[in-house]
Structure 1
Amino acid sequence: MDYRVKDLSLASQGAAKISWAEQNMPVLMLLRRKYSEAKPFKGVRVGAVLHVTKETAVLMKAFIDAGAEVALAGSNPLSTQDDVAAALVEYGVHVYAWRGQSGEEYYWCLEKIVEWRPQIVLDDGADLHALIHEKHVQLASSIVGGTEETTTGVIRLRALEREGLLKYPVIAVNNAYTKHMFDNRYGTGQSTFDGILRATNMLIAGKVVVVAGYGWVGKGIAARARGLGARRVIVVEVNPIRALEAVYDGFEVMPMSEAAEVGDIFITATGNKAVVRREHFEKMKNGAVLANAGHFNVEVWIPDLEALSRSKRQILPYVTEYELSDGRRIYLLAEGRLVNLVAAEGHPSEVMDMSFANQFLASLYMLENKGSLPLKVMNPPVELDEMVARLKLESMGIRIDSMTREQEEYVKSWRHGT
């Protein structure tokens, strides 16, 4: 069996961690049990580029149990949990992932997924989708379809579609309500501070926290900052509607040029590059802390920080100190990469339960509709989204009402007036 992980002897440790996730992912486990008998993915090659965490392992095991052959690579050089990777190899997954990859090694692993010739492609950030379209476009004809887990990846794929270059249908799993409203807001909101606290053991209470971006991720981070007692929570936005929403949610809103002068902790969550850059570093207080919750390590513009610094040293496992020419010190967490996955363990299992249930159901939907889906980036079918929500509620012991027949007829008719 072909694979490459850091240390296969870590498998038992990884298996124990995966069992914890399984206990806290009831929806995905229900789907796993349901389809382990029918095996709808029998003989289907699934190629995935996802963060290799205990939650991802539950999804990979669900595909294996449903009959699929699975190959997995990490979607970030620093997010792989090596014990989980080892445990998945023992479960039969072809894993190409280890923590601390170089850029060259990262893309070597992606090439191994391409060599696997997957028929269904699961991605987080669209690096695998982009690689196939740039260098291996001949493979596209054998791909039934793909999924995309994160906002950044959906943006890239929509650009491919606009340019008329998309070669297979893709379901934007990120756009499922039971993904972005929960994973992005509650998952990233909590796990971002989990990463910051593990890296620094800082006290958030009393601090001024600056959040760049007020999408679902930014909303979650801002809410958690307030809940942890931040003295001020400042939102930086370029979208006037989101900025207005932040104001109405009770947060301060200002440009980064102003926020840079007062912030203690800066957290980026925009999906764009150079959000915090030279002119902002030049205004920051001594001791300012920088963290990123966006997919790529481009939001805090490290080249500018390097250029302004006279020295650099790692003072804690995930904290790099930059001493500027005037003696001020600025601290970058997790090398500017996803702080929640580098310095912590990523999202809690409970929210990834819904996200990965959507991944599984979207893949099944594409397989069942093979050849009939348009070459577009599509949102998940509403009925699948609602199914995930209902199953999640049931797993929590929560019941909801149903409409009466009269109510159903009322909302379908245009004839009822004043």
Structure 2
Amino acid sequence: MAVWALGINHHSAPLDMRGRFAFALDQIAPTLQGLRTSLTGAGRLHNGVETAILSTCNRTEIYCAADMPALDHTVHWLAHSGGISTDLLRSHSYLLQDGHVARHAFRVASGLDSMVLGEAQILGQMKNAVRAAEDAGALGRTLNQLFQRSFAVAKQVRSSTEIGAHSISMAAAAVRLASQLFEDLSRTRVLFVGAGEMIELVATHFAARNPRQITIANRTQERGEKLAAQFGASTMRLADLPEHLHEYDAVISCTASSLPIIGLGAVESALKKRRHRPIFMVDLAVPRDIEAEVKDLGDVYLYTVDDLASVVRTGQAQRQAAVEQAEVIIDSGVQSFMHWLDQRRPEGGSVSLIRDLHAQADTWRALEIARAKKLLARGENIDQVLEALSRGITQKMLHGTMAELHKGDAEQRAQTADTVSRLFLRSSRPPASEQEPSAVPGTKKL
């Protein structure tokens, strides 16, 4: 069994490229189906290929498992889905196999590969990705083991180390930057665009500073009202946002929209109405919610998830000891997973033999059925055809066994007979080794 992963993240690819490969949660199932169909049609894999996709603002990663790897085909598929060349994707991505996949997945789940070192949100996102793969019927035994072990390692890392201590979240970083622009956040009006988990986190941090007004603008009114109720905030229809944008000093956006929802023209109009009083804007969405050109406006302070990197890295040195402890836990987890994986490979267990037995039995069955169909087509008696069918299958199954029972000396034949009895004679009779030797074909009573 081969395991491989292809991904891009905040270390390997710029924001706009990551946006090309961002998949909303409701897109995961059809995307997985398309990937599996593509891999199966590549002529290399069987219908049981396993797939899962993890897509967040910082990364998009494809995890696969099958009898044989299809690394190049996976790269071609992802490049095509994002509308770029395979060479360009290769220059901004990472391709991992077997133990390297496990190590990467364990580090991601533990928060070691995040922009915010030790952050816990990625673990929930990973669990959502696994749930989506399960619902799509794309998750098999191997990937399920990989992810369940990832969750167990992450739990051990968080309970045994201080990896999350001293960390600064994206939400806290946004508030810190806003407080550098505005002397008193309690006098500001804040607009949140979206109502997902990230917006809820940022709104919680801003609400602690008691801003003058908080408004939630969301595509789904019910969800927006539910979030607004937590903070005593007002709500706004997303369609009304351009008309009221000038009323707000800070705008934080994070939606699943595939296109920007706040354009350059809307912000320019808002600045004129504000008489060029500054606007603080944070775009936490991938792909972007706010057009990139907005950043060039003189009175706008626009930050993306990548712009926040220098802020959230504060405290990195203090957590280095915890990182080293976490890596030791991850090393142990990788060894355990690879041992489990090796047991499923031909050189490490009986999986190959079982697969070959099934294949041999299917071949025999297909041959006898084809022969039976020919006899029936010639008008042969159906009872006689069925008799010949059953006899043909039985003879094929027993031929090798009968031959082995006649090989070797008396002791070898007795051992073979004992094995054959246990495999084929499912009754209360004692093993052949406990019977009279004369009962075994090809032996003589001493």
TM-score range, shorter chain: 0.3 to 0.5
TM-score by length of 2: 0.39
TM-score after normalising by structure 1: 0.41
The structure richer in helix per residue is 2
Higher RCO (CA < 8 A, seq sep 6+): 1
Larger radius of gyration: 2
